[in-house]
Structure formats: structure tokens, C-alpha cells
Chains A and B, each alone.
Chain A
Amino acid sequence: MIFTSILTLIVAKALPSLNIKLSPIYFTRISAIIFLYAGVLSFNTLYIQSIGSGIGIYSGLFHVTQLTQLIEVFLLLIGSLILIAWPLKQNTENTNKILNSYSTDYSLLVLFSTLGSCLLISCSDLISMYLSIELQSFGLYILSTLYRDSESSTSAGLKYFLLGGLSSSIILLGSGLIYAYTGLTNFDAIYSLISVCDYNHILQGFNLGLILIVVGFLFKIAAAPLHNWSPDVYDDTPTIVTIWLTIIPKIAILIFLLELNTQIGIIGGETKLIINTNGYAEILQSLNLSTLSNLSTLATQSLINIIGDSSINILKNLLLISSLLSLVVGTVVGLAQTKIKRLLAYSTISHIGFILLALAINTEQSIDSMIFYIIQYTITNLNIFLIILALGYIIKTYSNTNNSSSSLYSGEEKDIKYISEFKSQFFLNPLLSLSLAVCLFSMAGIPPLIGFFSKMFVLYSAVQNGYNFISIVAILVSVVSASYYLKIIKVLHTSTEEEDTNYSVENESISTRILSKNEGEVQNTILTNFHSYLISILTLSILFFILKPSLILNSTQLLSLSLFNF
């Protein structure tokens, strides 16, 4: 399955050198189909009987379980959906060429990067972990510098490259420390070593390496204390790149962290993967005590476990601190943003906080809620970005044709940068802005929508395991974050006074024509059929999740059970 995707990728790489004359819009379509095909192939492996507790493939360097396969299918599906979002442009030859040369590069780089994330999901060795994270993020660095004509995109790519390189080297340092202390690179061997090992110095070295690795990965998913690069990068890159940057690598890294955390957590349940109090541990412990300041509500049993043992689980505290900070930073700083993508970046940080909270709790229920949260968040985020892209195409294209300025704009100029550009879109594109409003409500966690359920599950499992303080913080923070989602919605639905009526009428007629899919009549179609169809499907699935929730919920529950009980 993975190997097939390598092969298809190399074939796809060979294609542009063979036939340049092929219309480049096919490349995105072909690679979308490649993604779908690879997804079907990896779905097929679920039918192998012995997959139950996982199979080590490629001499144990990768470890395939049901969880990795299903997430891989999901990842590939989302990837193919993102590729659909490229515009169909047939109006002018110049823009056609430029845009489409970008689109071929985009689809190829995306294939490389997805290969890396598929490998990362299932890797079970330090070396293969490092190689696949490098493959994934290297593709992303190139992707963000793809629009090399625009200065902001280049600077974003450079920033992303430097900080990503820093985090990669932190990961490498951590892996090196683990290898220096244990002499092992295979995860299974490391788990079994530390589950029986009593030597303190080996455990200390292992813990230090683990901390460094996890910090590196938190850097890559832009969790809170290490988040500073992400709003800049997301804001400066074109939206079509940002949509990829926010979704795909985060899923892969989070699932990888999930496997690492559950395995170590299972060991920690038996033999207390601990570090005795010295130096760094003391700092962490004091933070831990301040975090769980209302320990009195805890059951005394767990209180004795935490304090009486004077030992802490490093990894859990690291994740909890990061989750708390992401929750707070993501919402509070997000309040002051005026650019739409910066705001979405901060909302991503706060959602990452929720996911990390569920990850840190590490019970069957919380893992269930975490997988569900990831799926939910991916769908909603994808839909929001698709709508922003669609609105961007519509708004910018018509303003450009109205001005009859240069039709030679690069993709970056068509992006929506500021929230104020959404002003009164409700009266121009009612359906699109309604669905955007639905998505934002879902992100804010308004009850009948899908986002509410995911937040509820995370908070439920947090409260049930006694993480009261952080769940109160999470609730407060989600209320605060609802205000900035509402701000966008308010901007969408209020009209401007100085609107040129002629322009708006024209714009409205064309946008409604697009949405009613009369493509034959419209001369320069921007949105494809499939793009609008996709938006409507995603919005409806967000809306009507409550009517049939059993499909996603059952599968996530089965996944989390399969992680723990095999």
C-alpha cells in the first residue's frame, strides 16, 4: 500500500517530463485519483486477518495497525479533496499557464509530502521516524515557497524552513540521546527495555530523549509555547497552500504522538515510567502542582498516587502544559487578529490544545474523543478553507474584471487577507456565506453541530478523569473563542453602504449561477462543479451529524479500543 503510493508517485513524477503538452489541470485530477486509489488499497489491508494487533512490515521498521490504516485512508481522502480545490481557469491564456505550472508542482510536492505523512503514521523505529518526518516537512517547506514570485510567500517558506529545521534537529538530538542510552532504535524494543529497566540513569536519559522528541513534534504542530511561527507562515502563504499546511501534517504527527503516548502510557501504568525529583523534574512538578491546583476535588486515591509517590509522568505533564498554554494563547491572542488566516491559525492552535488534552489523559474514552476530534476538526477546517478559497475566487475575479486591470495575477492576489473583505458577502453569495457561518458555529461549538460533540467528548473524558482545572479553562476559552468566530459571522451578514449596486447585482447573478451549476452559460467559470458540491456535502455533514452519529462514533470507539485491548 505504501509502496504502491511510492510507485504511483514516481510515475507521476515522470509524467511532466514526458508530456508537457498535457493540460496541467489534469495533474491535480490525476493526483487526486492517485490519492483515492492509494486510500482504497490501504483500506483493503483491513481485510487481512492477522492485522489485529498490528504487523511489522519492512523488517519491523514500520508497524501497521488498524488505526494507522484507517487514519491513512482518511488522510488520503482529505488530500484528494484538497486537490479538487484548484480553480478551473479557461479564460485567459497567461493566467492559465502560470497558475497551472504552479498546480503541477503543487500536486507533485503534495504527493511527496503525503508519502512522508503516511510513512510517519505507521513508523515504529527512530530512524524511519526521522526519515519520514523529514520527507513530510521537506515537502511542506517547498510547498510554502512554491509561489516564488510573491515576496511574502518566499519569506514564509524561509521562516518555515529554518524553524522546521530547528525542530527536526531537536527531534534528532532526542533520538540520538535515546540511542546513546539504550542502544536501541526500534520502538518495541525500547518499550520492552524500559518496562523492565530499573537503572535510573537509563530511564533519565530515555526521558530526556523522549522530552526532546515530543518537544520537536509539538514545534511541528505549532502547539502553544512553540507556536510563534505558525500565524506568520499561514498568513503569508497562499490559501491553497495553507489549507494543506494546516491539515495533513498535523493529522500525521498527532496520530504518531498518539501511538507513542499510548504505548508508553500502558507501560507507565504497570511500572511507573518515572523520573526522580531533580532539576528539570522539579520544575515540571511544580508546574504540575500549580496546574492541578484544585486537587482537593480529586479522588484521594489519585492524589496519593500523584503526590505521595513524588513521581510524575513526564510525558503527560509535558502534553498537559502544552495543551493548557495552547488553549489560552490560541484564543486570547486570536481575539486581536484582523487577518482571516492569522485568526484561523490561532483557532488551530486552540483546537490543538483540545486534542493534546485528550491525548494527555490517555484513557480509552479520551483517545476515542481525540480521534473523533481530529476527524471533526479536519472536516470543518477543510470546509472553511474551501469556502474561503471559493469566496476569494469569486470576489477577486470580478473585482479584477471590473477594473479591467491586468488579468495576469498570480494565485496569491486572489486570496482573502482581511476579515473585512467578507463584508456583506451574505447578500452576494448567500449559500456560501451560510455554509461558512455553519462551519464557524461548528468550530465554536454550538450544540446541534458536529463541533459541539467533539468538544463535549473531550471535556467529558477530562472531567471524568479528574482534570477539573484544565477543563474549566477549556470551557472558558471556547466561550471566548466563540466571540471571534461570531465576529466573522457578523462581518459576513452586515451590509456596506457604499456598495456599488451595479457591481453587486452582476456579482450576485453570476455567483448564483455558479451555485446553481449552470456552467455552460457562464463564460469564465471559477468554481468547478465538484468544488461547490464538496462544500455543500461537507456543510451538510456538519449540520446533520446529529441525525446519524453512529457511523463516525462507532468507528472511532472501535479504533481506540483496538489500540488498548489488543
Chain B
Amino acid sequence: MTTLFINLLAFGTLLSSVFSITSKNPVISVIFLITTFVQAAGYLILIGINFIGISYVVIYVGAIAVLFLFVIMMINIKLTDILETGTQYTKNLPLAIAIVSLFIFIIFTIIPFNFNNVPALSILLDKITYLNSILSNSNTVSINLINSIVNNYFATSLSDVIITDFQQIEVLGHGLYTYGAVLLITLSVILLLAMYATIVISKSKKSE
């Protein structure tokens, strides 16, 4: 049941992100963006990464996306410009499909198709992996081995979740302030740079 729900959420995330790119009206696209974030947060929480999921909701949905929505409502973009760009997307569609399919082919000759263990698709994907291994005459790991690896992977991550579920924030904080203190400092420098950069770029010249 949970895996089905996870798959639904992942699929919904992909779908709404595609909609948020392709929708003509910017307000609707921002709303799709919000749904993308919410679904991603739900996905993360369901696979046991609670803190990141909650912070997704709080930061992206609560602050940034709503800010986007306000800004877009205020600046009143002309719809005609956006409609023109909408036609430009489809112009490069064959190229995009070609590149993506090549990339996916390369990736999936190495990573097996059922790496993520989607139960509804796994039977089909097993077949595809099998066919692929026949066609490219490769000795990829046999399907049973793959399944055992995938299941094993999930089992171990489950035990991880059980241990860390109690004190996820504590663990994060502990890691971040002792082991990865320098990472925290570097991140803060990047954040400082981001703040400075927005000031530099958007500063008007007349103020000097």
C-alpha cells in the first residue's frame, strides 16, 4: 500500500512539474509548482526522510512559491509573450526526445530498469532488462540478483529509518555541527554570496 502510494506521488510529481513548465498561464504554472513541491515532500516523508520533507513544505511551499505567486500577480506579465514561447518549446521536441532516449538507454544499460522497484511496472521492466541484455549481448547481472539487491537495499534502508526516525533532527544537527562543520561554513559563505549577488545585480545605479 505504501509503495503504491509512493509511486503515485512520484508520478504525480513528474506530471505536475511537466505541467508547470508547459502551462500557458504563469499563475497556474506556479500552482502546479506548489503541487510539485507538496507531492515531493509527501514522497520524502513516506520514504522516511521526515525533516527534509517538512522543510520542503515550510520553505518552498510556505515561503518561496507563495512569494512567486504574489510577484507574478503583481507584475502582470503580458500573456502574448508567453504564448509565443509556448510554441518554441515544441519546436525542439524531437531533438529533446532523441537526447533523452539516448541518455536513458546509456544509463539503463548499466543501472537495471527496476532499480527503483516500482511494483506495477517491475514485471514489464524485467522483460525489458532481459531483452536489453539479449540485444546488446551483455552480461548484466541476472534479474534474480537484481531483485535480491533491490529488496536488500530496501530492507537495509528500512532499518536505517527505524533507528533514525526518533531523532532525525538531532542526528542531522549532530552531524552538521561536528563532522561537517566546515560544510556548514562553506554553505553559509555560498548563502552570503547569494545575498550579495542579488544586491549587486539588482542595485540601481542612481543610488550611488
Contact A279 B110 (CB under 8 A): yes
Taken together as a complex, chains A and B put the C-alpha atoms of A10 and B186 apart, in Å, by 12
**Is B200 interfacial (CB-CB < 8 Å)?**
yes
Please, which residues of chain B bring their CB within 8 A of the CB of A135?
A: 186, 189-190, 193
Q: Is the CB of A134 within 8 A of B190?
A: yes
Task: Report if B106 contacts A (CB, 8 A).
Answer: yes
Verify if B208 is at the interface (C-beta below 8 Å from A). yes
CB distance from A451 to the nearest CB of B (A): 35
Residues of B within 8 A of A128 (CB): 182-183, 186
Contact (Cβ within 8 A) A280 B110: yes
* Cβ of A431 to closest chain B Cβ, rounded Å: 37
Q: Indicate whether A115 reaches chain B with its CB closer than 8 angstroms.
A: yes
CA of A282 to CA of B106 in the docked complex: distance in angstroms?
A: 11
A-side contacts of B183, CB under 8 Å: 61, 127-128, 131
Do most interface residues of chain A lie in helix, strand or loop, or is the interface mixed? helix
CB interface residues, A 69-112, toward B, < 8 Å: 97-98, 101, 105, 108-109, 112
Given A61-B183, A62-B182, A279-B109, decide whether A112 and B189 contact each other with a Cβ distance below 8 A.
yes
- Whether the pair B107, A138 counts as a contact (CB closer than 8 A) is no
Residues of chain B from 57 to 113 with CB closer than 8 A to chain A in the complex? 105-107, 109-111
Say what secondary structure dominates the interface of chain B.
Answer: helix
Q: In the complex, how many residue pairs between chain A and chain B have their CB atoms under 8 Å apart?
A: 96
- With an 8 A cutoff between CB atoms, is B119 at the interface? no
The 8 A CB mask of A140-170 against B (1 = contact, 0 = none) is 0110011011000000000000000000000
Q: Are A279 and B182 in contact (CB under 8 A)?
A: no
Q: Which residues of A contact B139 (CB under 8 A)?
A: 276, 278
A278 B109 Cβ-Cβ under 8 A: yes
Are B138 and A277 in contact, with the CB atoms below 8 A? yes
The yes or no answer to A21 lying at the interface (CB within 8 A) is no
Docked complex Cα distance between A331 and B105 (Å): 33
Asked whether, in the complex, the Cβ of B110 is within 8 Å of the Cβ of A59, the reply is no
Is the beta-carbon distance between A279 and B106 smaller than 8 angstroms? yes
- Whether B110 pairs with A205 at a CB distance below 8 angstroms is yes
In the complex, per-residue mask of A377-411: 1 if CB is within 8 Å of any chain B CB, else 0: 00000000000000000000000000000000000
A347 in the interface (beta carbon within 8 A): no
Q: Chain B CB within 10 Å — which of A9, A127, A177, A280 has the most?
A: A280
Task: Let me know if B143 is at the binding interface, CB within 8 A.
Answer: no
Residues of chain A within 8 A of B179, CB atoms compared = 59
A334 to chain B, nearest CB (A): 27
Question: Which residues on B sit within 8 Å (CB–CB) of A61?
Answer: 180, 182-183
Is A98's CB under 8 angstroms from B200's CB?
no
Chain A residues lying within 8 Å of B145, measured Cβ to Cβ, are 201
Say if the beta carbon of B140 comes within 8 Å of chain A: yes
Chain B contacts with A in 152-184, Cβ cutoff 8 A: 178-183
Contact of B200 among A115, A127, A146, A277 (CB under 8 A): A146
B190 touches A131 (CB 8 A): yes
User: Complex: how many Å from CA A121 to CA B110?
Assistant: 30
Residues of A within 8 A of B21 (CB): none
Residues 99-136 of B at the A interface (beta carbon under 8 Å): 105-107, 109-111, 133, 136
**Neighbouring B residues of A148 by C-beta, 8 Å:** 201
| Also in contact, A101 and B208, with CB within 8 A (given A13-B196, A138-B193) | yes
Max chain B CB contacts within 10 Å: which of A97, A119, A278? A278
Residues on the A chain within 8 Å of B146, using CB: 201
Tell me if B149 is interfacial: C-beta within 8 Å of chain A: yes
| CB-based contact B186/A131 at 8 Å | yes
For residue B18, CB closer than 8 A to chain A, the reply is: no
Residues from chain A with a CB closer than 8 A to the CB of B110 are 204-205, 207-208, 278-280
Which of chain B's residues have a CB closer than 8 A to the CB of A115? 189
Asked if B197 CB lies within 8 Å of chain A CBs, one says: yes
Report the minimum CB–CB distance from B92 to chain A (whole Å): 15
Specify which chain A residues have a CB less than 8 angstroms from the CB of B136 in the assembled complex: 278-279, 282
For A146, the chain B residues whose CB sits under 8 A away are: 200
Closest Cβ–Cβ distance, residue A367 to chain B (whole Å): 28
Instruction: List the B side residues contacting A481 at CB < 8 Å.
Output: none
Q: CA of A476 to CA of B194 in the docked complex: distance in angstroms?
A: 45
**B130 CB, nearest partner CB in chain A, Å:** 14
The answer on a CB contact under 8 Å between A108 and B196 is yes
- Given A135-B189, A139-B193, A142-B201, also A280-B109 (CB < 8 A): yes
State whether the Cβ of A511 lies closer than 8 Å to any Cβ in chain B: no
Q: How far is the CA of A208 from the CA of B108 in the complex (A)?
A: 10
> CB of A322 within 8 A of chain B?
no
Nearest CB in chain B to that of A280: its residue: B106
Interface 0/1 of A1-26, CB less than 8 Å to B: 00000100110010000000000000
Q: Could you name 20 residue pairs across A and B whose Cβ atoms are closer than 8 Å?
A: A6-B189, A59-B179, A59-B181, A61-B183, A109-B193, A109-B197, A112-B196, A119-B186, A128-B183, A131-B183, A142-B196, A146-B200, A148-B201, A200-B141, A201-B145, A201-B149, A207-B110, A277-B138, A279-B136, A280-B110
Interface of A toward B, CB cutoff 8 Å: 6, 9-10, 13, 58-59, 61-62, 97-98, 101, 105, 108-109, 112, 115, 119, 127-128, 131-132, 134-135, 138-139, 141-142, 145-146, 148-149, 177, 200-201, 204-205, 207-208, 276-280, 282
Which 4 pairs between the two chains have the least Cβ-Cβ distance?
Answer: A278-B138, A279-B109, A58-B182, A142-B197
